[in-house]
Structure 1
């Protein structure tokens, strides 16, 4: 890596112990890798707070037998088609389906489509996973 900077950090012993446990659980090879990931996570959160162009996934599980649910979900997806890059549809069993939408756009727009899909009657569970395009991360 070019331009790597070393710096010292003062930290309470008990907090460092917790951090080292975290590192072990997540299987990081060292503290530096874990710290870099925590910093990146914070920067990605900031991107979402600042309504920048971002990417993410929206995962929903629903009962396809609920009256007019498929039509509502399809209408919502067509309404937000400029944000949806790809979808994956899986039949979990005879009644339930899982759908994953890959989305790209301003975080506010992505939150709106996620909230709309997740709040649709018949959706049993939904989750927005927010990430980044990575262009501003080193």
Structure 2
């Protein structure tokens, strides 16, 4: 771990402190590390297309759009090997929210996301990619826990 010093204006520091408090960070360093990690992940062009990743694909769609639900389901079945889980929520009389957890290569995940979010009737599509290092997974013990919670794989 390296220690760095930064200069930051008062308004931005107040924003970081409010964010830290709202999210429950115990230090500014923790908050800034997560902010930087998020910025790195959002800079997806730096992630190799062949790299493995987890991803969360979220989108809102109008369920009454002709054949849209069937087309979305068919698209996900065509890429069943990427799907970990899907959550479907009725957010209003006409709209549904779906969140799909995916695992595969960045290129494959982006391809599925593009084919889903480009469908007529789909709105608010967002893909959040989380790169994973296979070597890091191999080094981690099979059961680990977070903050004293029950262990998981």
TM-score normalized with structure 1 length: 0.77
Residue-by-residue CA offset, 1:56-96 (whole Å, 9 max, x unaligned) = 11111111111111221111111111101111112223322
- C-alpha change, 1:35 and 1:124, in structure 2 (3 Å) is closer
1:123 Cα deviation (Å)? 1.1
- Residue 38 of structure 1 pairs with residue 35 of structure 2: yes
Deviation digits for residues 18-42 of structure 1, max 9, x if unmatched? 5522421212332321232234335
Aligned Cα root-mean-square deviation (Å): 2.6
Runs of 5+ consecutive residues of structure 1 not aligned to the other structure: none
Q: In the comparison of the two structures, how many residue pairs are matched?
A: 130
Higher relative contact order (CA 8 A, sep 6+): 1
C-alpha distance 123-43 of structure 1, shift in aligned 2 (>3 A): closer
Pairing partner for 1:50 from 48, 51, 56: 48
What is the match of residue 105 of structure 2? Answer: 106
In structure 2, what is the equivalent of residue 83 of structure 1? 82
User: 115-124 vs 39-48, which deviates more?
Assistant: 39-48
Which residue number corresponds to residue 26 of structure 1? 19
After superposition, the Cα gap between the structure-2 partners of 1:8 and 1:117, relative to the gap in structure 1 and judged at 3 Å, is closer
Report the CA distance between 1:45 and its aligned residue.
4.8
Larger CA deviation: 17-26 vs 65-74: 17-26
- Unaligned runs of 5+ residues in structure 2 are 138-153
Which residue of 1 is the match for residue 95 of structure 2?
Answer: 96
